[in-house]
Amino acid sequence: MEDSRFLSSRERVKTDRRYLFYRWYAVLAVVAWNWVGIQGFLSGGPPGISMLVLVPVVVPALFMCFNLAAFPFRYSVFGPLVRSKAPDINPLKSFQGSWGRIGWCHASVPFVKYAIYSEGLAISIRGVGAAFLPMTLIESCESGFLRGNRLGHRSPEIRNPISVPRGVFNEVRMLWMQGRGRTVQA
């Protein structure tokens, strides 16, 4: 039976409507950046100062796009729904300054932080966002030489698959197997 605490986010709508502004902001910032770049290219000269002026405007828009690469639209910075939060207890184990991949978003060291709870896995990517994946929604733990360590799940809040470092994978797999009533072979 699935824990309703983690699936009730469908009813949890963001209290403000900033996400509507973010939709327009990201599109306009990226379009303006490209327009200025194309104009500079067509003029045949070096990029103008306007490219430099637009950097503080474009960087947040790019990170919003990274957020969309990790989370489905409805749960991203552009969507109306709130993602589940990690429990308000101390994690069993945490991994700071790591790497990882959620869906299409790849993040390198030191931008990813993992916290493992008996209820699930909390993932935080600096500048992109955070999410909580309940153990009850993890469907597979696969390890392979070329594929890495992947967690398959059925959470609507996070894109599939999730690739994690070996240490995180081993801890999550052990808890996941225990939750399924299986023993873990070392």
Question: Rounded mean pLDDT of the chain?
Answer: 88
pLDDT tens string 18-40: 999 999 999 999 999 999 888 88
What would the two tokens of residue 13 be?
């709508």
Residue 186 reports pLDDT greater than 70: no
pLDDT for res 1:
42
Overall number of domains in the chain? 1
pLDDT tens string 121-141: 999 999 999 999 999 999 999
Number of Cβ within 10 Å of residue 184's Cβ equals 11
Residues 148 and 129: their CA atoms lie apart, in Å, by 23
Number of Cβ within 10 Å of residue 146's Cβ equals 4
Residues 106 and 110: their CA atoms lie apart, in Å, by 12
Place of tokens 């039976």: 1
Q: What is the pTM of this model?
A: 0.84
Report the range of poorest mean pLDDT among 51-55, 87-91, 137-141. Answer: 51-55
Residue range(s) defining the domain that contains residue 111 = 1-186
Average pLDDT over every residue of 112-128: 96
Residues 42 and 12: their CA atoms lie apart, in Å, by 48
pLDDT for res 144:
77
* Domain harbouring 98, CATH code: 2.30.29.30
pLDDT tens string 148-171: 799 999 999 999 999 999 999 999
